[in-house]
């Protein structure tokens, strides 16, 4: 059982009682899922060892995307998938943030505001990439991941984009590479991003709710060359499949308080923060996404609707790509470790027998 699950089991009921009807339904669902994950409430899988015939019963996980217990396997699968899709070129990580004065508004209007952040930043990148002073590409491809927390679980919405260093010509027959250390200028990127977000809020009828000071402040955009992209995808993977904090950072939870460790930006030294259990749960839940909201989005030739096939793009960049990656892929498959359940007695593989459901009702 994870530390975060124990915290919710120990203090979740008190949190629900304290805040009552003001708790959103999606937060209630997350609390229940984390509390009941792998304790039998979601059913159990029954196995028999293929060697010693010992029987095993494994309680099912909740499957909730905000549950820290369920996401490790999904993260590994996603990482493998994204690494195989990398193109043989340089990559950039481009990060779009918002002013601090806008955060409370975004938190109160998450679905609309998060969507506007995605759309505005994507449109800004596409617009500048078409400029011949930078790349002159008619179509670029990239994917973005929404990240909403800071190191102390504070609310800090921003989007990380992983962007190949180049794009396709208008006839889709030529790969136009950017400089390996420069994609587009971040200053105009920031201005266009802010303007497009403002237009989105006007169209949504929410412009009047925003503090006017945010339109006169710079919206920080950071662009960083990240080599072949593998390190950046590994960096983003935990943010895709967990919420706010990992179990390894929990130091203790007792006496109505939770202590966790964190690092300040630019420092490798661990520090410790202690907050009340109620505050910890509140900070955790503020990063729960709206129902059905997609925190990973693909654009341009990386989108599912792209009419330019992957092999064609690879061929345009490097004719040897298929030969090289074919060998690497084959080797990875041979070295891949079977991740199925193992017998706790002899270590051999388990054979699935049946699924049973026996829900435990809360007293």
Domains in the chain: boundaries? 3-66+340-356, 72-244+287-318
Between 108 and 359, residue with greater pLDDT: 108
CB 210 within 8 A of CB 200: no
Which segment of 21-30, 213-222, 304-313 scores lowest on mean pLDDT? 304-313
Between 53 and 196, residue with greater pLDDT: 196
Instruction: For residue 354, count other CB atoms closer than 10 A to its CB.
Output: 8
For residue range 174-211, list pLDDT tens digits in order: 999 998 899 999 999 999 999 999 999 999 999 999 99
- Reported pTM: 0.84
DSSP string covering 245-283, please? --GGGEEEEETTEEEEEEE-TT---EEEEEEEHHHHHHH
Average pLDDT, stretch 111-135? 96
**Percent residues over pLDDT 70 in the chain:** 91
- Both tokens of 255, joined, read 């006496």
């Amino acid at each position: 059982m994870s530390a975060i699950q124990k915290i919710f089991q120990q203090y979740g009921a008190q949190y629900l009682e304290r805040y009552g009807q003001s708790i959103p339904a999606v937060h209630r669902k997350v609390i229940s899922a984390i509390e009941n994950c792998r304790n039998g409430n979601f059913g159990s899988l029954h196995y028999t060892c293929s060697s010693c015939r010992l029987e095993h019963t494994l309680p099912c996980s909740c499957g909730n995307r905000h549950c820290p217990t369920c996401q490790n396997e999904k993260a590994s699968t996603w990482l493998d998938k994204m690494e195989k899709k990398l193109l043989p070129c340089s990559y950039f990580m481009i990060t779009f943030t918002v002013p601090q004065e806008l955060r409370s508004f975004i938190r109160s209007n998450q679905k609309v505001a998060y969507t506007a952040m995605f759309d505005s930043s994507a449109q800004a990148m596409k617009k500048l990439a078409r400029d011949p002073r930078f790349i002159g590409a008619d179509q670029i491809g990239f994917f973005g991941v929404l990240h909403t927390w800071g190191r102390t679980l504070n609310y800090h919405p921003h989007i990380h984009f992983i962007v190949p260093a180049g794009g396709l010509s208008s006839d889709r027959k030529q790969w136009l590479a950017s400089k390996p250390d420069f994609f587009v200028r971040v200053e105009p990127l920031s201005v266009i991003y802010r303007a497009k977000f403002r237009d989105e809020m006007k169209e949504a009828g929410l412009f009047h709710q925003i503090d006017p000071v945010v339109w006169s402040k710079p919206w920080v955009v950071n662009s960083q060359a990240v080599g072949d992209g593998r390190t950046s995808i590994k960096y983003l993977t935990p943010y895709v499949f967990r919420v706010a904090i990992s179990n390894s950072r929990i130091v203790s939870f007792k006496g109505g308080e939770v202590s966790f460790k964190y690092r300040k930006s630019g420092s490798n030294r661990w520090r410790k923060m202690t907050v009340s259990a109620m505050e910890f749960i509140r900070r955790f839940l503020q990063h729960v996404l709206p129902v059905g909201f997609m925190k990973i989005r693909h654009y341009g030739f990386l989108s599912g609707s792209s009419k330019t096939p992957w092999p064609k793009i690879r061929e345009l960049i490097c004719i040897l790509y298929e030969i090289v990656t074919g060998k690497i892929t084959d080797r990875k498959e041979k070295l891949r470790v079977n991740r199925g359940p193992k017998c706790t007695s002899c270590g051999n593989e388990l054979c699935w027998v049946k699924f049973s459901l026996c829900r435990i009702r809360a007293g």
